[in-house]
């Protein structure tokens, strides 16, 4: 086939492509809309006295001594690169003990699981009583754990 004979065929293909361009674009937009990125979720919150590897609490506990350092580890699935966690610790009176925020690490784009740890300690002994740690993910509360100091 010569160059002159192929030209009409090329024009026809281009015309069809242009005519379908808008519909194709809409279809692409729709496809993006029905497949959103998985939303972040908290799969575990654990309280304890020690951390193991990867920030996970190694000895889950709900009763602590007055000189203990208290750890909470929060496992999050599908965290966005900008996601942040906040741990808000309160005493039984509602009095704020501490509030700390931490950006969630996402060092590996294919890795959907992250573990964030928060810990509190007190130079003088903890007052005995009931406490609560409330976990917030991107400004929304996602869970809490109650514990006691004896």
Partner 1 sequence: MTNPNEPLPDFSDVESGSSSASMPEAEAQQQTYTVKSGDSLSRISRQVYGDASKWKLIWEANKDIVRNPDLIHPGQVLRIPQA
Whose CA is closest to 98, among 71, 116, 74? 71
- Residue of 64, 114, 136, 137 interacting with partner 1 (CB under 8 A): 114
Interface with partner 1 (CB under 8 A), residue total 51
For tokens 């361009």, the residue is 21
Q: Strand, helix or coil at 59?
A: coil
Indicate if the alpha-carbon torsion angle 13, 19, 22, 24 is positive or negative: negative
Binding flag, residue 78, partner 1 (CB under 8 A): no
Binding flag, residue 80, partner 1 (CB under 8 A): no
Binding flag, residue 45, partner 1 (CB under 8 A): yes
Whether the CB-CB separation of 101 and 89 falls below 8 Å is answered with no
Binding flag, residue 150, partner 1 (CB under 8 A): no
Contact residues for partner 1, defined by CB under 8 A: 43-47, 53-56, 59-60, 62, 75, 77, 85, 87, 89, 91-93, 95-98, 100-108, 111-124, 127, 143-145
């Amino acid at each position: 086939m010569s160059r002159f004979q192929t030209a009409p065929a090329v024009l026809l293909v281009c015309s069809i492509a242009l005519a379908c361009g808008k519909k194709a674009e809409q279809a692409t937009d729709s496809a993006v809309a029905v497949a959103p990125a998985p939303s972040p979720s908290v799969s575990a919150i654990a309280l304890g006295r020690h951390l193991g590897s990867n920030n996970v609490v190694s000895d889950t506990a709900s009763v602590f001594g007055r000189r203990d350092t208290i750890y909470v580890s929060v496992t999050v699935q599908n965290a966005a690169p900008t996601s942040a966690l906040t741990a808000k610790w309160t005493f039984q009176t509602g009095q704020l003990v501490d509030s700390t925020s931490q950006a969630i690490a996402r060092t590996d784009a294919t890795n959907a699981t992250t573990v964030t740890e928060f810990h509190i300690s007190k130079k003088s002994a903890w007052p005995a009583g009931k406490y609560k740690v409330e976990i917030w993910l991107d400004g929304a509360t996602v869970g809490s754990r109650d514990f006691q100091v004896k």
